Amino acid sequence: MFETLYDNLLNKVSNGDKCVMLTYLTLHDNVSGSIENKIFLTKDDIDKKSISLHNEVYIRANNALSTGKTDIVHIDENKLVLIEPFFPRPRLIVFGGGHIAKPLVEFASKVGFSVTVIDDRPYFANTTRFPDAEKVLCEDFKKSFNLIEFKKSDFVVIVTRGHRHDELVLREVLNYDLSYIGMIGSKRRVKGIMNELISECYSKEILDKVNSPIGLDIGAVTPEEIAISIVSQLISFKNKGNIKANSFSYPEFDKEVTLEISKKTSTPRAILTIISSKGSVPRKSGAKMITYIDGRSLGSISGGCSESEVLTKARDIMTNNGFLIQQVDMTGDVAESMGMVCGGVMDVLIEVF
C-alpha cells in the first residue's frame, strides 16, 4: 500500500536529502486504530510548504528536522500525525590509508558513518584492508577530487603519509563548506601550514574551521587511541555542530529495514517503530524493525524479552490492517523480574498495511 513511498524516501535520503515521513492515524480507542495515509516531505518541501497541510504539522515537521526526534501532533480529538525525521547517513571521507586510518574507519563505521577511504597506494587502498568502508578509492589525491561530490553534510579527515599530501588535500577541501575538517600533525607542522595559507590570503574564519591537531585531547598515543580521539570529535560535531537545539539527537535510520519495507509482499507483516522513550532504553525513538507472520524479522528495537513481547502483539494483529501502540516498561520491578539492565519506558507503534 505504501511501499512505493518508502522506496522514494530511501532514494531521497540516499541522495543526501533530509526528509520526514508523516503517518496519519485515526484512533478507535486509546491505543489502536487505522492508518489513513502517509506522506513524505523533503526539507525543501517543508521550507516551501509545497503541499497543503495543517500549519502545526509544518511547524512540528521543521522542529523534527532541527532536533532529530519523532513527534506526534493531535490534529483532532481522535486523529494523530506521527512525524518521523530521516537523515542521510553522515559521510566521512578519509584521505590516507595508513596505520591511523585503519582503526579510524572501523570505529567510525560502527558509530554510524558511511566511510570513503582514499590513498594512492594499492597496498593501502583496498577493501581487504578496509572491510568496513563503503568505498575505497586507489587514486592520486589531486585526481580524487574529481571523483567526489562534496556535500555540506560531509566530514573530512586528512591523515596522509606526508606534509606535502596533507597540504594538497587541505587546500582543496577548504573550498567547500563542510561539517568537519580535521588534519593530523604536530603543532609545529600545523602552524607552518597555517602561516603559509595566511600569507596566501586565506581568511582566519576559513582556517579556524580546521581541527588540527586533530581529535579530542585524551592523551592518545597508539593508532587505536588516536582513532578513538578523532571519532569522539566527529561524534561531537555530528550531534552538536551547527545544531542550536541542545536536545538534538541524530535520528535512527536503518537502511536495510527501510529497503525491506519498500518491497511488496503477499505475506502479512508489521513494522515496529519506537515513537517515544523515557529513561534508559537500548534504542532511541525512530528505531525500526520489520517482522513477518512466518517468523522472519529484520532490525531490532531493543532485543530480549521486551522485543519478544512486542513481536507477540504484532503477530496478534498482523492479519488485519491498522496500528497498535504498545508500551514497554523496563523500570523497577518489571525490569528486574525480566532480567533487564535498562530502566526506561518506550512506546512502540506496530503498523500493518
Range of 117-131, 158-172, 186-200, 278-292 with top mean pLDDT: 117-131
**Pairwise CA distance, residues 141 & 165, whole Å:** 7
Same domain, 192 and 211: yes
Its domain, for residue 108, covers 91-240
Q: In this predicted structure, what is the pLDDT of residue 255?
A: 86
Same domain, 98 and 47: no
Same domain, 219 and 270: no
Pick from 186, 212, 240: which residue ends a domain? 240
Q: Which triple of cell numbers denotes residue 14?
A: 540516499
Q: In this predicted structure, what is the pLDDT of residue 242?
A: 43
Q: Does residue 166 sit within a domain?
A: yes
Pick from 209, 240, 271: which residue ends a domain? 240
Q: In this predicted structure, what is the pLDDT of residue 335?
A: 52
Same domain, 79 and 98: no
| 99-126 average pLDDT score | 96
Q: Kindly report, residue by residue over 246-280, the tens digit of the pLDDT.
A: 567 778 888 899 999 999 999 999 999 999 988 88
Q: Kindly report, residue by residue over 334-343, the tens digit of the pLDDT.
A: 455 555 555 6
**303 pLDDT exceeds 90?**
no
Same domain, 114 and 234: yes
Q: Kindly report, residue by residue over 160-196, the tens digit of the pLDDT.
A: 998 889 999 999 999 999 999 999 987 888 888 888 8
Domain of residue 159, CATH code: 3.40.50.720
**225 pLDDT exceeds 70?**
yes
Sole residue written with cell 566511510: 115
Same domain, 106 and 83: no
Q: Does residue 46 sit within a domain?
A: yes
Q: In this predicted structure, what is the pLDDT of residue 194?
A: 87
91 phi/psi in degrees, rounded to 5? -95, 130
Q: Does residue 246 sit within a domain?
A: no
Q: Which triple of cell numbers denotes residue 66?
A: 532541527
Same domain, 97 and 236: yes
Q: Does residue 245 sit within a domain?
A: no
Q: Does residue 122 sit within a domain?
A: yes
Q: Does residue 78 sit within a domain?
A: yes
Q: Structural domain tally of the chain?
A: 2
Same domain, 195 and 305: no
* Per-residue burial over 43-60, b = 16 or more CB atoms within 10 Å of its CB, e = otherwise: bebbeeeeeebeeebbeb
Same domain, 233 and 149: yes
Q: Kindly report, residue by residue over 315-353, the tens digit of the pLDDT.
A: 999 988 999 999 988 775 445 555 555 568 899 999 998
| 40-63 average pLDDT score | 94
Q: Does residue 118 sit within a domain?
A: yes
In 10 A of CB 269, how many CB atoms? 22
Q: Does residue 8 sit within a domain?
A: yes
Give the residue ranges of DSSP H helices in the chain. 3-14, 43-48, 55-67, 101-110, 141-144, 163-173, 187-199, 204-207, 223-240, 255-261, 304-317, 332-337
Pick from 177, 205, 240: which residue ends a domain? 240
Same domain, 194 and 53: no
Same domain, 128 and 219: yes
Q: In this predicted structure, what is the pLDDT of residue 188?
A: 81
Same domain, 226 and 133: yes
Confidence band of 244 (pLDDT split at 50, 70, 90): very low
In 10 A of CB 121, how many CB atoms? 12
Edge-to-edge strand list for the sheet holding 180-183: 135-138, 114-119, 91-95, 155-158, 180-183, 210-211
Q: What is the pTM (predicted TM-score) of this model?
A: 0.75
